[in-house]
Amino acid sequence: MKLLDPTEIKGLHLLNRFIRSATWEGLADGDGACTPELVDLMVKLVKGGVGLIITGHTYVSSAGQATPWQLGLYKDSLIEGLKEMTEAVHYEGGKIILQLAHGGLMARSKLTGTAPQGPSPEKGQDNDPGRGMTVDEIEETIAAFGQAARRAKAAGFDGVQIHSAHGYLLNQFLSPAFNLREDKYGGSVENRARALLEVYHSIRRTVGRYYPILVKINSEDFVERGLILSDVIRIAALLDSAGVDAIEVSGGTFVSEQNHL
C-alpha cells in the first residue's frame, strides 16, 4: 500500500490516498451559499493532485452556524449553487465529499439570532450563554442532518462526512465534559454516542445503502473530564457496527489548550 496507489471508500474510487481534510474556508456568502471563490478553491485542490476533497464544515440548520461566511445546506435553494462546485470538481476528474456540521454551543448568537444550544447548559463561543436541548430539539437536529445529506446528494457530492469532532454539537454529546444529561443521551459511552448514531441512521435512510458516509471524531478532547481514547475506541466500534464507511480521527475542542489543537 502506497500513498499514490488508488483506493476506494464504499465503491467511491479514488486516484490516490491523499485526502484534503475539512477546513473552514470562510468563502461562502452571508446566506451560506456557494460562491465562485469556493468553486475556484476546490478546482485548485483537484489540480494539485488530491485524491479526495472534504469541504469545510457546512451547517445543517440555521441555528447551527458557527462561523461567518460558513457554507450552509439548511434549505433546498442552496442546492443549485453547490452543483456548480461538484460539477467543476468532477470535470477535473476529482471527488468531493460534503462535511455536515452543527455548531451546538459553538454556534454564535450574532449569526443565528438564537442562543447556542448543546447537550447541557454551558457557555459557548464569545461567552454566549448556552442552554440544554430538549429531546424534541435533538430529534429535529438529527432530522436536519438527514435532510442536509439529501440535499448534498442532489447537489452531486460523492458522499458526506458527519462532523463529530473539535467541540461541535455531536462532539459535545460524546464528551462527558459537555454532556451532563441524565436521560438516554447522557451518561454511558453508548448513551453519549446515541445522537451521533441516530444522525448516521437518519442520513443512511435518506441517501440509501450505497452512498458513502464518513465520520470525523476526536481521538481525545484534551480537556478535563473530556473524551478519552478508550471511549473513542468503543465509539468507533459502534460506528463500524452501524455501517459507517470510514472514520477520520482528529483531536481538540474550542476550549482545549492551544498546543493540543
**Domain that includes residue 130, residue range:** 13-260
Q: Evaluate whether residue 101 is within a structural domain.
A: yes
Mean pLDDT in residue range 152-171: 98
Of 70, 188, 202, 186, the closest CA to residue 141 belongs to: 202
- Residue 255: predicted pLDDT: 75
pLDDT at residue 245, as a whole number: 99
What is the predicted pLDDT for the residue at 95?
Answer: 99
Q: Is residue 8 part of a domain?
A: no
Task: Summarize pLDDT for 173-213 with one digit per residue, the tens.
Answer: 999 999 999 999 999 999 999 999 999 999 999 999 999 99
Q: Which residue is associated with the grid cell 481521538?
A: 219
**In the 8-state DSSP scheme, what is residue 130?**
P
| Separation of alpha carbons 32 and 61, rounded Å | 11
In a domain, residue 120? The reply is yes
C-alpha cell at 30: 452571508
Helix, strand counts (H, E) of the chain: 8, 11
Q: What is the mean pLDDT of residues 214-230?
A: 95
pLDDT in tens, 120-134: 998 777 777 899 999
Residue 232 lies in a domain: yes
Q: What is the CATH number of the domain that holds 163?
A: 3.20.20.70
pTM (two decimals)? 0.96
Give domain status of residue 207, yes or no: yes
Q: How far apart are CA 57 and CA 101, in angstroms?
A: 6
**What is the tens place of the pLDDT at every residue in 91-104?**
999 999 999 999 99
Examine residue 7 and state whether it is found in any structural domain, yes or no. no
If you ran DSSP here, which 8-state letter would residue 243 be given?
T
Tell whether 5 is covered by a domain.
Answer: no
Radius of gyration of the chain (CA): 17
- Interatomic CA distance for residues 199 and 203, integer angstroms: 6
Mean per-residue pLDDT, 252-256 = 79
Into how many domains does the chain fold? 1
User: What pLDDT, on a 0 to 100 scale, did the predictor assign at position 258?
Assistant: 54
Q: Is residue 182 part of a domain?
A: yes
Residues serving a catalytic function are 168
